């Protein structure tokens, strides 16, 4: 008996093993146990059976000892147990791809119907003490050690139990679910590089703890008769229970899931090119990354038309990617039908019905569903007619599209932390986060990272067009600290690891061509409420109350994508938006050849931007049917939208450590394109509306220290990049246009505790256009205050009450000591409000005789008291303010700014509620219009040029700090762009010479040499600032001018920067507002200074020279330099301008020719549509006539039937 069993085992095992003899097998048939020793498996057969890729081969597979135990009397409930002691497997990379034997898998016996033997085999439990896997290639050697591996059957809930509870049969479909679990106690993965240079490097290690892997196998019962017998046995109640259990645990599609509760990664750099030469990083550094609750899901066989509701843990309604994917699929279907079945009549309506649905969602959150519903309803007849008249080609296309499948990889991370790089000097410090989640702004069930990668295909590798692969990434609120050492370390570590990975992968012709062209991928990345933090260093002085500790750069949403929105979408991601930005840059750019431009400057408007805006950069794919037939749109132009962007200072004691604004919320749109990989970068950007900034002296000092850190960081990044072996001469050009900027300098008040009656009217709010302000409207009295920490827009409402006494418990507490300044400020505020009211009542009475109400408040109290004057009842006061709400601003009634505001979503972090300050400040506002900024960096030489118009100033000698913050928040809403001149609308019209122009040059010098003659340290650089100021008239108070001199004073003595300023026709009007010490002195008179032409220079020694202009600021001429001839230069400038205009006209002519051709096609389509309308109208008329005839016939039949029934009744 034992001999027969041994022979049967040898017969089956000899196919998979080598040199297996009966002496290696010991059996006990009655006890159901056995043992096999020193098993050596056939490597070639296992390589083919496992279907390994052609570039890897199995070289060895051994097992020292294997035992099994079978309980013959309990096979239905107890599994067969197979124990393996040690398993050794060796793999290697083939020098040449091996031939794949596809017939090896087909040689296995085909399973028949699901029988008792299959049940026993499916229930086998396997336990392995240790698994050793060695992988060898030319670049590195790796090993994987796994201990205590078990594979056993489990219940659907993952518990151990009877074998009969580990399977669920469907009583209706004849299918079977088998539940397994793979578990190992620990795993250790090591990889070590080859080579002499890498001999002393530590290996890369990955340690895994206890790991569980649940497996659900779905099988179909081949014998339907047996399935019917099984269905007939259980009663109806049991069948319903089994059906519900099967539906609960059913696997609708194959999927793979990985869940890691916590992953800790420790990254260490290598000496050499992988390590920065920065002194603090010269001895190496390490970076720690912690991932919490990471889940990766792979769905390889998902039908594109099906929903994702059955995906575990996937919330389709809460994922914007689902909406973006459905819109892309609808657009793809419409484009495919139009390309493969070009029908001149129906596709226009068909395409309209497919392209209007995706237009419902807009990026700003506004939904246009009613319009979309109307469009879809209006297009329903045309769609039905199309379906009824569908051609065979269209029917086959739709059938093929119904088979479209997707492979989707979903990655979700609940939390992650990246600590700052740790070095030898930082080893004793506690780790500080570089990137961390903002837990306070995250909902309880929201994850931090959600990424999806989707590929499309057809079953059977059918050659038919498919949509492009799509990558979607969404990041919830994160806080990113700008640490110089960490950024420099990552910039040196990342490229080194990337080159090592690329060199380890065997290169082929296909991979080289695809790498050079780049993968075609639709990408959309969204960051919700990210925050970039600039932290103060050791220079922070705690004694300075107004000095901040941090600067927060925040936005509500940042989107980066290379996919264009629909042309009908009124968003910032369309080609029309790119064309408008390019036009704005052209209009704002100074004339070429004039200051601040130079002959060697690069133009930020790259040709790729122009082609992309005109939709002329499509990729030629040919007309042959292929999977990439419709991958024609260029994906090399990226769009970044920041909606909106604002900046806050935090950590100052004067604001009670609450945020204080630096930049008011403003939207930003940027477009980017690249040349030769990423060696040449071109960026064009634009902000919308007014960019409001405010700054005090200590905040300016903070910004100057941060700029020094960023400058040092950029220098080290450039230095380390130049050391790389593949470093080439790169360049970056950035062009930005800003309609208007208002910079308010917060200065100490020249008269603390006092406010004049003109202070309220001279706040920077008046420098903006207030023509469209409406009292009580949402645009002014209910501004959208930005929560500085969360980024949520909270709408405030205004309520007006009649005069009512406050309860005693709600009155503000009395101050502990005398504060004459604050008391006088409150009385002054009351006096100003009453005086403004009295001065405006005459205008109101002359208008319609009605009484209006005004509200005043005490600036030293957090509660506002409303004083209703000349109002007979509370309703009269409400009516008065409603008139202003409806736009009646002609009455001239002025209402004090202090009104009761109740926020619909109050925030403890808002400036108006939490940063109450009772000190009085003075302000000086500088406003610039039509700002054009270009920065370029090429070959160690950088240049920044600025051009602006209309420099204006506005002053306020005394205003409470909190009142100024309220007005600062409303200033951007009150701004309206000035009307442009008709000639400015032409892109070819040259801009007038800017009134304020500047150019900052920075040139890198050779590095210093050490004692051995080798270059060391950073390369020094020299800077030169050139400026031209012309045709300006500025009026300032003398106290403000003195305060500005103190404002710009730095705390650090820096080497003087060489500069040259040319001033032309500048007038200064200095008003002496300081009090004279002598009573008998006459009143001070203003000082007028008229600078016709003046040249101001400063050299590296700090010597300032004043004199007449010698040359243009862009060229510093010496006395020996021959002076150019003005007439010749003027003629050359005219020739250059004419040549540029001719070139622009040629481009315009080509564009107009294309537009004319498109117009001809559109006219043809319009004529065709008119003919169709006439046909439809005739058909409708004929149908109406037929319906009328039908109605007449029905009436006649009804009369005849009545007559017939009457005749029968008479008979």
Cβ–Cβ under 8 Å, residues 246 and 240: no
* pLDDT score, position 851: 36
Q: Which of 16-20, 348-352, 484-488, 1129-1133 has the lowest mean pLDDT?
A: 348-352
Mean pLDDT of 165-193: 87
Residue 645 in this model has a pLDDT that exceeds 90: yes
Does 838 have pLDDT greater than 60?
A: no
Q: pLDDT at position 743, please?
A: 93
892: left (phi over 0), alpha (psi -120 to 50) or beta: left
Of 893-902, 1174-1183, 1202-1211, the range with the lowest mean pLDDT is 893-902
Average pLDDT over residues 532-559: 88
Residue 1128's pLDDT band (cuts 50, 70, 90): confident
Report the C-alpha gap between 152 and 179 in whole angstroms. Answer: 9
State the sign of the Cα–Cα–Cα–Cα dihedral 315, 316, 320, 325: positive
Percentage of the chain beyond pLDDT 70 is: 73
The position carrying tokens 């005004």 is 854
Greater pLDDT, 135 or 1140: 135
When pLDDT is cut at 50, 70 and 90, the band that residue 452 belongs to is very high
* Confidence (pLDDT) at 1126: 61
Q: What is the overall mean pLDDT for the chain?
A: 75
The pLDDT assigned to 721 comes to: 82
pLDDT at 755: 42
pLDDT tens-digit map of 370-424: 333 333 333 333 334 444 456 788 888 888 899 999 999 999 999 999 999 988 7
- Dihedral through CA 8, CA 14, CA 16, CA 22, nearest 10? 80
Q: What is the pLDDT of residues 267-302, one digit of tens each?
A: 888 787 778 888 888 888 889 999 999 999 999 999
The rounded distance, in Å, linking the Cα atoms of 1066 and 231 is: 99
pLDDT at 978: 61
Q: Using CA atoms, how far apart are residues 593 and 914, in angstroms rounded to an integer?
A: 52
pLDDT value, residue 236:
62
> Looking at the predicted structure, is the pLDDT value of residue 900 above 70?
no
- 499-536 pLDDT tens trace: 777 666 555 445 554 445 568 899 999 999 999 999 98
Q: 871 pLDDT band (50/70/90 cuts)?
A: very low
| CA-angle at 513, arms to 512 and 515, nearest 5° | 65
Which pLDDT belongs to residue 37?
Answer: 86
* pLDDT for 935: 94
Residue 856: per-residue pLDDT: 33
Residue 368 has pLDDT above 60, yes or no: no
Mean pLDDT to the nearest integer, 143-171: 88
Mean pLDDT value of segment 963-983? 70
On the CB side of 1061, how many CA atoms lie within 13 Å of its CA?
14
**pLDDT greater than 60 at residue 106:** no
Give the model's pLDDT for residue 1140: 80
CB 866 within 8 A of CB 877: no
Q: What is the pLDDT of residue 1111?
A: 52
% the chain with pLDDT above 90: 25
> Do residues 548 and 698 lie in contact, with contact meaning Cβ atoms separated by under 8 Å?
yes
- Asked if 964 and 765 count as a contact pair (C-beta separation under 8 A), the reply is no
Q: Give the tens place of pLDDT for each residue, 353-366.
A: 443 333 333 333 33
- Sign of torsion over alpha carbons 229, 232, 235, 241: positive
Instruction: Give the pLDDT of residue 427.
Output: 56
**pLDDT, tens digit (0-9, with 9 covering 90-100), for 1037-1072:** 998 999 999 998 888 888 888 999 999 999 999 988
Smallest CA-to-CA distance from 197 within 293, 274, 279, 254 is with 274
pLDDT band at 343 (very low <50, low <70, confident <90, very high): low
What was the pLDDT predicted at 1018? Answer: 79
Q: How far apart are CA 1138 and CA 250, in angstroms?
A: 75
d(CA 203, CA 198) in angstroms, rounded, equals: 10
Cα 454 from Cα 1059, distance rounded (Å): 55
Q: What is the rounded distance in angstroms from the CA atom of residue 447 to the CA atom of residue 414? A: 4
**352 Cβ contact list (under 8 Å, min separation 6):** 375, 379, 382
Cα torsion for 821, 827, 830, 831, to the nearest 10°?
-110
When mean pLDDT is compared across 121-135, 427-441, 811-825, the lowest value belongs to 811-825
**Is residue 1160 predicted with pLDDT exceeding 70?**
yes
Which pLDDT tens digit goes with each residue over 194-244?
765 555 667 788 888 888 888 888 888 764 333 343 444 555 666 778 888
């Amino acid at each position: 008996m034992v001999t027969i069993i041994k022979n049967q085992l040898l017969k089956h095992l000899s196919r998979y093993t080598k040199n297996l003899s009966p002496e290696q097998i010991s059996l006990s048939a009655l006890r159901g146990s056995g043992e096999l020793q020193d098993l050596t498996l056939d490597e070639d057969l296992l390589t083919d059976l496992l279907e390994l890729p052609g570039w890897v081969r199995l070289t060895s597979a051994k097992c020292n000892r294997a035992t099994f135990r079978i309980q013959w009397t309990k096979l239905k409930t107890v599994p067969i147990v197979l124990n393996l002691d040690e398993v050794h497997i060796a793999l290697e990379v083939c020098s040449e791809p091996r031939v794949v034997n596809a017939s090896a898998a087909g040689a296995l016996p085909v399973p028949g119907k699901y029988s008792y033997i299959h049940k026993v085999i499916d229930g086998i439990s396997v336990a392995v003490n240790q698994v050793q896997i060695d992988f060898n290639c030319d670049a590195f050697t790796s090993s994987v050690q796994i201990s205590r591996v078990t594979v056993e059957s489990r219940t659907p809930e993952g518990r151990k139990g009877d074998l009969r509870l580990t399977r669920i049969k469907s009583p209706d479909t004849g299918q079977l679910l088998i539940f397994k679990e793979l578990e190992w106690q620990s795993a250790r993965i090591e990889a070590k590089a080859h080579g002499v240079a890498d001999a002393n490097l530590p290996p890369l290690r990955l340690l895994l703890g206890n790991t569980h892997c649940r497996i659900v196998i779905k099988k179909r019962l081949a014998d339907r008769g047996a399935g019917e017998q099984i269905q007939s046995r259980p009663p109806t109640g049991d069948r319903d229970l089994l059906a519900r259990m099967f539906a609960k645990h059913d696997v609708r599609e194959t999927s793979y899931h990985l869940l890691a509760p916590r992953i800790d990664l420790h990254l260490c750099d290598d000496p050499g090119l992988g390590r920065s030469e920065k002194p603090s990083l010269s001895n190496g550094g390490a970076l720690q990354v912690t991932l919490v609750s990471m889940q990766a899901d792979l769905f390889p066989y998902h039908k594109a038309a099906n929903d994702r509701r059955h995906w575990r843990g996937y919330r389709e309604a809460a994922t914007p990617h689902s909406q973006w994917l459905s819109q892309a699929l609808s657009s793809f279907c419409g484009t495919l039908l139009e390309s493969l079945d070009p029908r001149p009549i129906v596709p226009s309506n068909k395409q309209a019905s497919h392209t209007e649905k995706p237009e419902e969602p807009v990026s700003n959150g506004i939904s246009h569903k009613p319009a979309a519903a109307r469009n879809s309803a209006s297009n329903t007849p045309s769609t039905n007619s199309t379906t009824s008249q569908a051609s065979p080609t269209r029917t086959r296309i739709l059938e093929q599209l119904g088979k479209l499948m997707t492979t989707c990889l979903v990655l979700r991370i609940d939390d992650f932390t990246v600590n700052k790089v740790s070095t030898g000097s930082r080893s004793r410090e506690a780790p500080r986060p570089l990137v961390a989640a903002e837990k306070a702004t995250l909902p309880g069930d929201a994850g931090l990272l959600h990424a999806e990668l989707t590929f499309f295909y057809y079953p059977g590798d059918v050659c038919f067009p498919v949509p492009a692969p799509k990558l979607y990434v969404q990041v919830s609120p994160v806080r990113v600290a700008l640490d110089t050492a960490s950024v420099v370390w990552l910039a040196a570590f990342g490229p080194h690891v990337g080159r090592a990975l690329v060199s380890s992968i065997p290169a082929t012709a296909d991979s080289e061509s695809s790498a050079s062209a780049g993968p075609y991928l639709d990408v959309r990345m969204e960051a919700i409420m990210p925050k970039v933090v600039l932290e103060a260093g050791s220079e922070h002085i705690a004694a300075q109350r107004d000095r901040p500790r941090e600067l927060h750069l925040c936005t509500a949403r940042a989107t980066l994508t290379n996919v264009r929105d629909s042309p009908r979408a009124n968003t910032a991601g369309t080609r029309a938006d790119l064309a408008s930005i390019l036009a704005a840059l052209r209009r704002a750019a100074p004339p070429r050849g004039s200051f601040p431009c130079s002959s060697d400057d690069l133009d930020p408007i790259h040709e790729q931007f122009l082609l992309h805006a005109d939709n002329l950069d499509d990729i030629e794919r040919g007309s042959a049917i292929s999977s990439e037939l419709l991958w024609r749109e260029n994906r090399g132009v990226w769009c970044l939208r920041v909606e909106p962007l604002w900046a806050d200072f935090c950590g100052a004691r004067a604001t009670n450590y609450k945020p204080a604004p630096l930049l008011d919320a403003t939207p930003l749109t940027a477009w980017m394109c690249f040349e030769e990989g990423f060696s040449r970068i071109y960026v064009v950007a634009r902000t919308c509306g007014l960019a409001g900034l405010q700054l005090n002296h200590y905040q300016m000092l903070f910004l100057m220290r941060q700029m020094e850190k960023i400058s040092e960081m950029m220098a080290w990044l450039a230095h380390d990049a130049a050391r790389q072996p593949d470093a080439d001469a790169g360049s970056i050009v950035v062009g930005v246009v800003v309609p208007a900027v208002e910079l308010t300098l917060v200065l100490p008040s020249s008269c603390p505790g006092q406010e004049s009656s003109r202070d309220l009217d001279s706040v920077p709010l008046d420098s903006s256009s207030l023509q469209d302000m409406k009292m009580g409207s949402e645009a002014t009295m209910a501004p959208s205050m930005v929560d500085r920490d969360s980024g949520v827009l909270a709408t405030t409402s205004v309520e007006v009450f009649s005069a009512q006494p406050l309860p005693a418990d709600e009155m503000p507490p009395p101050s502990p000591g005398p504060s004459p300044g604050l008391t006088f400020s409150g009385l002054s505020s009351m006096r100003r409000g009453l005086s403004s009211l009295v001065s405006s009542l005459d205008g109101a009475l002359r208008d319609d005789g009605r009484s209006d109400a005004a509200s005043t408040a005490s600036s030293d109290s957090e509660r506002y008291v409303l004083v209703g004057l000349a109002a007979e009842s509370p309703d009269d006061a409400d009516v008065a303010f409603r008139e202003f709400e409806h736009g009646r601003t002609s009455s001239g009634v002025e209402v004090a700014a202090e009104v009761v505001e109740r926020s619909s979503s109050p925030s403890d972090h808002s400036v108006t509620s939490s940063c109450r300050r009772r000190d009085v400040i003075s302000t000086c506002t500088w406003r610039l219009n039509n700002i054009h900024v270009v920065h370029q960096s090429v070959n160690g030489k950088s240049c920044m040029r600025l051009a602006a118009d209309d420099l204006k100033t506005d002053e306020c000698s005394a205003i409470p700090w909190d009142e100024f913050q309220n007005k600062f928040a409303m200033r951007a809403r009150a701004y309206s762009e000035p009307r442009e001149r008709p000639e400015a609308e032409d892109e070819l019209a040259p801009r007038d010479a800017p009134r304020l122009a500047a150019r900052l040059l920075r040139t890198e010098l050779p590095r210093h040499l050490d004692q051995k003659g080798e270059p060391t340290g950073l390369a020094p650089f020299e800077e030169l600032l050139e400026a031209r100021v012309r045709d300006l008239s500025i009026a300032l108070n003398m106290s403000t001018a003195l305060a500005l001199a103190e404002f710009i004073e730095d705390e650090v003595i820096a080497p003087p920067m060489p500069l040259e300023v040319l001033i032309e026709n500048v007038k200064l009007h200095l008003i002496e507002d300081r009090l004279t010490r002598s009573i008998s002195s006459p009143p001070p008179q203003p000082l007028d200074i008229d600078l016709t032409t003046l040249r101001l220079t400063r050299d590296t020694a700090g010597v300032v020279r004043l004199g007449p202009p010698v040359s243009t600021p862009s060229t510093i001429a010496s006395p020996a330099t021959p002076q150019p001839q003005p007439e010749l230069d003027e003629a050359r400038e005219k020739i250059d301008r004419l040549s540029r205009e001719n070139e622009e006209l040629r481009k315009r002519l080509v564009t107009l020719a294309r537009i004319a051709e498109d117009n001809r096609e559109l006219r043809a389509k319009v004529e065709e549509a008119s003919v169709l309308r006439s046909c439809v109208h005739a058909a409708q008329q004929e149908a109406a006539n037929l319906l009328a005839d039908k109605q007449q016939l029905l009436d006649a039949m009804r009369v005849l039937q009545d007559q017939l029934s009457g005749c029968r009744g008479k008979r």
